[in-house]
Chain A
């Protein structure tokens, strides 16, 4: 196989897998910020919580990786409902700055709390046998776990797309993102809608956290370490836009991977170059409201 083609496939495949992780973890943040204008810097903390629940379930109870992922996402989704109702709701009308202070405070607390319970050593989980090794597609092999990430991402995107575009709830969410006051005045209960999307978003973040164990490793500092990355995906995609977040995740994932593969000397430069380039041309991101 020609060298350039091989490079291209490598970048595309690894970038795609990375992009799926970015999408799954960031989409909740995007909707939160789009729907309520709420700056949730504790989003990474929900992801981290998901990751640690997976670790506990898999290692203490010997539950398989996949069921553990599901349990962790659901649990974090449910817990996040209480957070939203009790804490976040008081701050919807506050300024961005107060929201920043609140959520960064929560992130700090979560870091210390998880350090207390889990210690600072990075955690890992045993993967099921069928996720290890690599799959042979004839012309070359690909790591199974990454293929799994791509498939899982594709399935989730299909589900989210269906819910967003084809169902009543999806229509309401889109309406509320576009014009919240108008949506309320036609009788949509935006608060309840938001609770729901917040729970789903946090649950997905938790799923992302679980997936990240194998991808990036998991320590308590995860809560803030990758926050900028998630914010970049949200900003580049446009707040509250599903397809924007997806496109941004793809662009960031593939450009970052390509940059690392072809020009490792420039490090993480490419992520920021692409961010600046996109935002200078489209300040509201790919599909954000101007």
Chain B
């Protein structure tokens, strides 16, 4: 078991602070470290490690002990088994991580029964937070970027007709539904909706995009998982010359994860996405985050939107531990203390909505361009502040329950 035990200045504090009860808080981190989506797990894990390394002293005299486990494939079952064991055997007080929605969904009844808070750092299916009062989400719902993108695409990018292409699994369906809702409300027309195979295998994207090319919409809204799929679809988009044919590529931030952007080349230039984070966001917290990241992981490694959410997740956990002074045995109290938590992080201002336990964050319309130094970057076209999960606001489907 890889345990990152953090002493910080804790030892000293214990000696000095007579009577101060120092607690070691066990935090279980469940992320996909192996398999086809290992890449996503590592992006979040790096942010976790970095935050813990830099901020262990903040919670002195208390300490955290991180226990990492492999989330495995998105079956739900494995994550449920290991997370249950983290609770029953390792006695963790907080669970965090969770890239795949099935993991979070499968585990929801367990955390309700065990009264252990589950702080989600990625899993984006909108209605997850409704499944248990012990779930808090620091990342996003699929609706966060996709819904405002609908209006933005119609009003600002000038998309009148859109073809949607998505990886055929729930986040893909969520994202396209959210976009469609926003886009049609603004007056746009969806001409086609193309499912593009399973999230497991990266398909040959060409036939799908060839179809889009032949339909000739103004814009192509694409949702794919931000791993190997993102690189694949951008290649097909470039190869087929869709941009030259006048079809703009738009989507949520999963389309251009920062850690793969440099490899995407010219094909990506001009792509407009809606997202809560880009490496190039101009705020002091992000500058610091970026600098620390490069210092720790090298100049060729970039944080992406998942890392930023991971950073804020650990930040929220630390702040809450501090607020409760290490008394985290009561899960309900922990969740209560997290409600309304807010900070200025790498993503800008974020807050946990006390009513839904979901994040409220800024969404930025980002355009890919070539920077003067030859690298690709993202510039902010517009910022929409304080975006809530619209799925729960509009009570769509399961979000209403």
A residues whose Cβ falls under 8 Å from a Cβ of B: 3, 6-7, 10-11, 14-15, 17-18, 112, 115, 119-124, 126, 132-134, 141, 143, 145-146, 214-221, 225-226, 256-258, 260-261, 264-265, 267-268
Instruction: Return the CB mask of B161-194 against A: 1 if under 8 Å, else 0.
Output: 0000000100000000000000000000000001
Closest to A224 in B: B36
Are A14 and B201 interface neighbours, CB within 8 A? no
Known contacts A10-B214, A134-B239; A122 and B39 CB within 8 A of each other:
yes
The contact sample of 18 A-B pairs, CB cut-off 8 A, is A10-B210, A11-B207, A123-B263, A124-B235, A134-B240, A216-B228, A217-B202, A217-B229, A218-B228, A221-B35, A221-B36, A225-B202, A257-B207, A260-B197, A260-B208, A265-B195, A268-B198, A268-B203
Q: How far is the CA of A220 from the CA of B34 in the complex (A)?
A: 10
Q: In chain B between 221 and 259, which residues have their CB closer than 8 angstroms to a CB of chain A?
A: 227-229, 231-232, 235, 238-241, 259
Residue of B nearest to A126 (CB): B265
B206: interface (CB < 8 Å): yes
Given the complex, which residues of B lie within 8 Å of A220, measured CB to CB?
Answer: 38
Q: Would B210 and A122 count as touching, CB distance under 8 A?
A: no
Residue-by-residue, is B195-219 near A (CB-CB < 8 Å gives 1, otherwise 0)?
1111011111011101100100000
Verify A264–B195 contact, CB threshold 8 A.
yes
Taking Cβ atoms with an 8 Å cutoff, the residues of B that contact A are 34-36, 38-39, 42, 168, 194-198, 200-204, 206-208, 210-211, 214, 227-229, 231-232, 235, 238-241, 259-260, 263-265
Judge whether B214 and A7 touch: CB under 8 Å: yes
Complex alpha-carbon distance, A8 and B208, angstroms: 14
9 A-B pairs besides A121-B260, A124-B235, A265-B195 with CB distance below 8 A are: A119-B39, A120-B38, A122-B39, A124-B265, A126-B265, A217-B228, A221-B35, A260-B197, A267-B197
Residues from chain A with a CB closer than 8 A to the CB of B195 are 264-265, 267
Least CB distance, B59 to chain A, in whole angstroms? 31
Residues of A within 8 A of B36 (CB): 219, 221, 225
Taking a contact as CB atoms under 8 Å apart, the answer to whether B194 and A14 are in contact is no
Contacts of A221 in B (CB 8 A): 35-36, 38
Separation in Å of the A209 CB from the closest CB of chain B? 14
CA distance A94 to B240 in the complex (A): 48
In whole angstroms, what is the CA distance A218 to B260 when docked? 13
Q: A219-B39, A267-B195 are in contact. Are A146 and B201 (CB under 8 A)?
A: no
Say how far A227's CB is from chain B's closest CB, in angstroms: 11
Contacts of A123 in B (CB 8 A): 263
A267, B211: Cβ atoms closer than 8 Å: no
Given A120-B42, A225-B201, A217 and B168 touching (CB < 8 A)? no
CB distance from A221 to the nearest CB of B (A): 4
Q: Are B210 and A124 in contact (CB under 8 A)?
A: no
CB–CB B211/A261 < 8 A:
yes
Partner of A217, one of B196, B197, B231, B265: B231
Contacts of A145 in B (CB 8 A): 239
Smallest Cβ-Cβ distance to A253: which chain B residue: B204
* CB closest residue in chain A, given B37: A120
Ranked nearest first, the 8 interchain pairs of A and B with the lowest CB-CB distance are A120-B38, A260-B207, A143-B239, A122-B228, A120-B39, A261-B207, A217-B228, A124-B263
Least Cβ–Cβ distance between B230 and chain A, in angstroms: 8
Residues of B within 8 A of A265 (CB): 195
